[in-house]
Amino acid sequence: MTWTKLPAIEQKNVRTACLCCGTPSAVFPADGIIAVGFGCAQLTRDGDLVWEEPQGPDDEEEFMTGAQAEALAAADPDHDWQIMIYGPLSGRTYQRHAPGSWVMVEQNEGFA
C-alpha cells in the first residue's frame, strides 16, 4: 500500500444538511448517491478529481453511486480513493479502506 489509511471516525453530532436528509452514516453505502444538491460532491484518487457531481437540474441520471465508485476503485486499488460530500451545514469524507468498505474519516459543519 502506497497511501496512508486515515483512521475511521464515529459519526458525531454535527448538524445535518436538512431535516429530510437524516444523519450521515459512518459508512458510505453501495446504493448511496454521491450527491449533495447544493454544494459539492466528488470522487478522488490520490487527491486528483475522478468525478464531480453535475450541477444541472436534469443531470440526476449522471449521479454516481457508491457501487460505481467501488468498481472504479477495485480496478485500481493501490491508491487513496475518497468520496467527499460538502454541503450546507454538513460535510464528510469517506475513504476506501478495503473492498466495499468506505468509512468516514472526516466530518465537519460544511458551509453556510
Domain enclosing residue 7, as ranges? 1-112
Give pLDDT tens digits for 78-94.
Answer: 999 999 999 998 899 99
Task: Tell me the C-alpha to C-alpha distance, in Å, between residue 31 and each of 40, 68, 89, 111.
Answer: 19, 9, 23, 26
Which pTM was predicted? 0.86
**What confidence score (pLDDT) does residue 91 get?**
94
Give pLDDT tens digits for 34-77.
Answer: 998 889 999 999 999 999 998 866 666 789 999 999 999 999 99
Provide the domain count of the chain: 1
